[in-house]
Structure 1
Amino acid sequence: MNQFVERSALVLLLASAPAVAGCGGEDDLDLAPLARRAEEVRELSFKREVPVRTVTREEVDALAEAEATAAEEEELAELAATYGRLGYFPVDADLRAILGHARDLMGAWYSSDTKAITLIGEVDDNVFIHEYVHGLQDQHFDLGALLTAAPTSDAMLALRAAAEGDAMLAEARFLAQEHNGGDLDELDWSRTIGGLLEIEQSILAESEVPVLFVQYPSFAYGFGFVYCAHNLTGASAEMPFAQEPFPFDWSREDALFSDRVPATTQQILTLDRHDLEVPVGLQEVPSGLTDRLEPISADSLGEWLSYLLLYPLGGTLSPGDLRALAAAWDGDRALFVRDRQTGATGTAWASAWDDAEAAAGVQSALWALHGGKVIDEGEPRLGQAEDGELLWIERREERVVALKNVDEALMPALAEAAFPSGIKPMRLTVRTRPSLAAWLSRSLPWRP
């Protein structure tokens, strides 16, 4: 949990009474009643006690600074050379300072590694409920193993949205019961959902770091809550009232961690009305290029991270235009490679969109994102980015392939291999390196 959740709790109570009284750390309070309340509102039982500790804001600041300082230079350099080069932030960005800044986002968290809750100072009862629900998720569904098994950044972010949305839903139920003896059937869904989605946009607009580094708080809480609310009750922004009979069946929430685990952020955003993901791009270097290129890693960005990639274009396109463009996402694959001769890191991002018009919009957006200019009018696919690196951006109908910092002689063959005629069906592989979302989760203390 972080400050986003603390702010969103206020939204949940707009049509209700004042906030529940705060309570002190574990040394000042018998937490057993709150643990029992978490069991009641989530309709699961603890298998074992969840330890709770309280730390000061100063201790958390020191922890975040220490983690940022301890980050391996090689890891930071690779993050910049891959995702930075893809366009999320400048390759020369001060990543240690960015990671240290993230400490300002935290309010409390549950760790699936230590199986414990950490609170920053005094918190309200609903915060305990939220974190206890993460403990219940972990004990019943092995949340840590699910997150570890997520094959891509997109899949991990989708799963985390389900985890946060589920905890917020139980938190909302607790608040409704404590204030007026009601339940979720009496919640003002229109006001709650609208307020949460406004907060999501404000997190991006107010971020002092590249929006990639607020991917989690900008997505998992608001959109996760709406997804879980719809899953449990049928309520949505379009139909802000329950469609399912009360009392609601919380086994529907259990299924999100077992046989219906969401696999993409588009599933979360569309409330499962998503298109089938289209196999696209490369997860390994084509055999004809392996003498020059070696793979570093591969990933899928998904709809939300594709939106964040294009977000810096907000000066030329409105947030609504960018969201609509990202909503046309049908599949993607980012492959990061290293030139065996020069040691240069290059990126190959292939994507599929709903139609040729959307793909053309993405093609134009990528040229703008990199400040790219065509080098030779006779070859409109080849250009130079604002930073001097070579670009190759090509569209065929609804598919787009973008290459950066790859040897010019290799670009045509690499691009060709990334289009449908050159791809093989994607398969799940054992990752040798963590996905972007996994790396950020390990590096930032807000992980569940």
Structure 2
Amino acid sequence: MNQFVERSALVLLLASAPAVTGCGDGELDLAPLARRAEDVRELSFKREVPVRTVTREEVDAQAEADAAAAAEEELAALAATYGRLGYFAADADLRGILGHANDLVGAWYSSENKAITLIGEVDDSVLIHEYVHGLQDQHFDLGALLGAAPTSDAMLALRAVAEGDAMLAEARFFQQEHNGGDLDDLDWAPTIGGLLEIERRILAESEVPVLFVQYPSFAYGFGFAYCAHNLTGASAEEPFPQEPFPFDWSREDALFSDRVPATTQQILTLDRHDPEVHVGLEEVPSGLADRLEPISADSLGEWLSYLLLYPLDGTPDLGDMRALAATWDGDRALFVRDRQTGATGAAWASAWDDAGAAAGVESALWALHGGKVIDEGEPRLGRAEDGELLWIERREERVVALKNIDEALLPALAEAAFPAGIKPMRLTVRTRPSLAAWLSRRPPGRP
């Protein structure tokens, strides 16, 4: 692992003491580092970015206080929606999880207060990284971009661009300061490979459900690989620049303006993705609206679909969940509330490369929920391990999974979630309606 990757590991995993100097309020003249950030990112500050330093103890205390103050109904809503999809158990200690949500953070830039916060002493390259976030915000309005992201998938893709771009500038700074070169001299294969290995370890070593480490497990390594390829043409497979040096940083600017990636699959495939397939329900079908009230809708995308299936990775008869998730073509999650019972239900429709991949996802979803078929005459209807009704159906390359929906509504809701033109299986007759509860769509992310 090269020096840049080692230092990135320190930033991400806080594995040891910082390598260089601390930057307390007023203790150092930070103007030279701000100018170096302008140099390596090839943008200029429009205004000064304040920098403050806090201790790890202060950050931990604030995180615990914020978790303790979280409204019970918000935690219940999170469990009723994303928990019901299968990301974590219904009885998971969400306050405890959220109270440690900052454990992988060493510093951050806030697009709300336009300031950098450092946790204790940090290496100069960390401050360069955060200054680049300030440049991104001043030139491209990060807060507005993130606020306009229509889905969790789109937001995570944009965050990967922000982190990858900052890490690319940080790598350039490191090359210039320590190796006397520039990005054209970077050893790309071990750099990209080392960063992706760090993110793999974050998932493997996570003590909380992996949904809650979605940001550090994706945005840094994959974001760096994507931005490196965008700027230089280099990749892990072809670890040499394909673009002429000096590299044109307006290519990076475009990722925040007219070429903002829409999905995590774009990031993962370096833009070699298939067109996204429209699938699932945007809203409750009119015929079920007397029973079902929409709460929110979302798209998980390739990475969050992988994290959903991650606990099954390597399970006999199921295999490699990362390879399976890579066949993602589109998805839509709709969360609903039953107007009569107040119960929350989830409907997740997804499209995959082919029928074989969809069959793998179908099997994985039954296993994820510990589902058992109730009646051999109706193989789509079952009961999850937690006792809730489950409906999992595949038609060709499409899969629909419904959970905690009134049994009488399941066939009609599943039918509506499949696109017209796909031949339906036998449907039972609807005798009465049903469905779900409230949630604001807010999967956990980095602060």
Fold conserved between structures, TM > 0.5? yes
Taking structure 1 as reference, are residues 71 and 143 closer, same or farther at Cα in structure 2, changes over 3 Å only? same
Determine the structure 2 residue equivalent to 1:245: 244
Q: Give 1:365 shift.
A: 0.2
**Matching residue's letter, 1:297:** S
Taking structure 1 as reference, are residues 10 and 292 closer, same or farther at Cα in structure 2, changes over 3 Å only? closer
Q: Give 1:197 shift.
A: 0.9
Q: Higher mean Cα deviation, 70-79 or 35-44?
A: 70-79
Taking structure 1 as reference, are residues 123 and 303 closer, same or farther at Cα in structure 2, changes over 3 Å only? same
Determine the structure 1 residue equivalent to 2:155: 156
Q: Give 1:293 shift.
A: 0.7
Determine the structure 1 residue equivalent to 2:434: none
Q: Is 1:436 aligned to 2:435, yes or no?
A: no
- CA distance in 2 between counterparts of 1:5 and 1:295 reads 45
Determine the structure 1 residue equivalent to 2:176: 177
Taking structure 1 as reference, are residues 101 and 50 closer, same or farther at Cα in structure 2, changes over 3 Å only? same
* SS at 1:45 equivalent: coil
Give the TM-score normalised by the residue count of structure 1. 0.91
> How does 1:25-36 map onto structure 2 within 5 Å?
25-36=24-35
**Matching residue's letter, 1:167:** A
Sequence identity (%): 85
Alpha-carbon contact 2:149-2:155 (below 8 Å) kept: yes
* SS at 1:331 equivalent: strand
Alpha-carbon contact 2:318-2:360 (below 8 Å) kept: no
**Matching residue's letter, 1:410:** L
* SS at 1:267 equivalent: helix
Q: Higher mean Cα deviation, 266-275 or 315-324?
A: 315-324
- CA distance in 2 between counterparts of 1:24 and 1:87 reads 42
Q: Give 1:27 shift.
A: 2.2
Determine the structure 2 residue equivalent to 1:292: 291
Q: Give 1:237 shift.
A: 1.2
* 1:359-403 alpha-carbon deviations (Å, 9 max, x no partner): 000000000000001010000000010111100000000000000
Determine the structure 2 residue equivalent to 1:377: 376
- CA distance in 2 between counterparts of 1:130 and 1:248 reads 19
> How does 1:48-59 map onto structure 2 within 5 Å?
48-59=47-58
Taking structure 1 as reference, are residues 5 and 383 closer, same or farther at Cα in structure 2, changes over 3 Å only? farther
**Matching residue's letter, 1:129:** I
Determine the structure 2 residue equivalent to 1:79: 78
Alpha-carbon contact 1:328-1:353 (below 8 Å) kept: yes
Count of aligned pairs: 424
**Matching residue's letter, 1:204:** L
Q: Give 1:103 shift.
A: 2.7
Q: Give 1:187 shift.
A: 0.5
* SS at 2:401 equivalent: strand
* SS at 1:375 equivalent: strand
Q: Give 1:23 shift.
A: 3.4
Q: Is 1:146 aligned to 2:152, yes or no?
A: no
Determine the structure 2 residue equivalent to 1:16: none
- CA distance in 1 between counterparts of 2:149 and 2:265 reads 15
Alpha-carbon contact 1:11-1:196 (below 8 Å) kept: no
* SS at 2:420 equivalent: helix
Taking structure 1 as reference, are residues 208 and 345 closer, same or farther at Cα in structure 2, changes over 3 Å only? same
Taking structure 1 as reference, are residues 317 and 331 closer, same or farther at Cα in structure 2, changes over 3 Å only? farther
**Matching residue's letter, 2:358:** A
- CA distance in 2 between counterparts of 1:223 and 1:208 reads 22
Taking structure 1 as reference, are residues 172 and 20 closer, same or farther at Cα in structure 2, changes over 3 Å only? farther
Q: Is 1:264 aligned to 2:270, yes or no?
A: no
Determine the structure 1 residue equivalent to 2:428: none
- CA distance in 1 between counterparts of 2:25 and 2:440 reads 35
Determine the structure 1 residue equivalent to 2:408: 409
Gaps of 5+ in 2: 13-17, 423-437
> How does 1:220-235 map onto structure 2 within 5 Å?
220-235=219-234
Give the TM-score normalised by the residue count of structure 2. 0.92
* SS at 2:203 equivalent: helix
Q: Give 1:105 shift.
A: 1.6
* SS at 2:416 equivalent: helix
> How does 1:200-349 map onto structure 2 within 5 Å?
200-314=199-313, 316=315, 321-349=320-348
Determine the structure 1 residue equivalent to 2:15: none
> How does 1:116-135 map onto structure 2 within 5 Å?
116-135=115-134
> How does 1:382-397 map onto structure 2 within 5 Å?
382-397=381-396
Determine the structure 2 residue equivalent to 1:110: 109
Gaps of 5+ in 1: 13-18, 424-431
- CA distance in 2 between counterparts of 1:312 and 1:367 reads 13
Query: Runs in 1 of length 4+ with deviation above 6 angstroms?
Result: none
* SS at 2:295 equivalent: strand
> How does 1:181-196 map onto structure 2 within 5 Å?
181-196=180-195
**Matching residue's letter, 1:381:** R
Q: Is 1:37 aligned to 2:36, yes or no?
A: yes
Q: Give 1:434 shift.
A: 4.9
- CA distance in 1 between counterparts of 2:439 and 2:84 reads 18
**Matching residue's letter, 1:277:** E
- CA distance in 1 between counterparts of 2:166 and 2:122 reads 16
Alpha-carbon contact 1:154-1:301 (below 8 Å) kept: yes
Q: Give 1:309 shift.
A: 0.2
Determine the structure 1 residue equivalent to 2:430: none
**Matching residue's letter, 1:235:** A
Q: Give 1:71 shift.
A: 1.1
Alpha-carbon contact 1:20-1:175 (below 8 Å) kept: no
Alpha-carbon contact 1:151-1:435 (below 8 Å) kept: no
Taking structure 1 as reference, are residues 289 and 215 closer, same or farther at Cα in structure 2, changes over 3 Å only? same
Q: Higher mean Cα deviation, 144-153 or 54-63?
A: 54-63
Alpha-carbon contact 2:49-2:116 (below 8 Å) kept: yes
Q: Give 1:64 shift.
A: 0.4
**Matching residue's letter, 2:175:** A
Determine the structure 2 residue equivalent to 1:8: 8
Q: Give 1:57 shift.
A: 1.0
Alpha-carbon contact 1:294-1:339 (below 8 Å) kept: yes
Alpha-carbon contact 1:200-1:219 (below 8 Å) kept: yes
Taking structure 1 as reference, are residues 340 and 419 closer, same or farther at Cα in structure 2, changes over 3 Å only? same
Q: Higher mean Cα deviation, 317-326 or 113-122?
A: 317-326
Determine the structure 1 residue equivalent to 2:198: 199
Alpha-carbon contact 1:161-1:221 (below 8 Å) kept: yes
Alpha-carbon contact 2:392-2:400 (below 8 Å) kept: yes
Taking structure 1 as reference, are residues 5 and 242 closer, same or farther at Cα in structure 2, changes over 3 Å only? closer
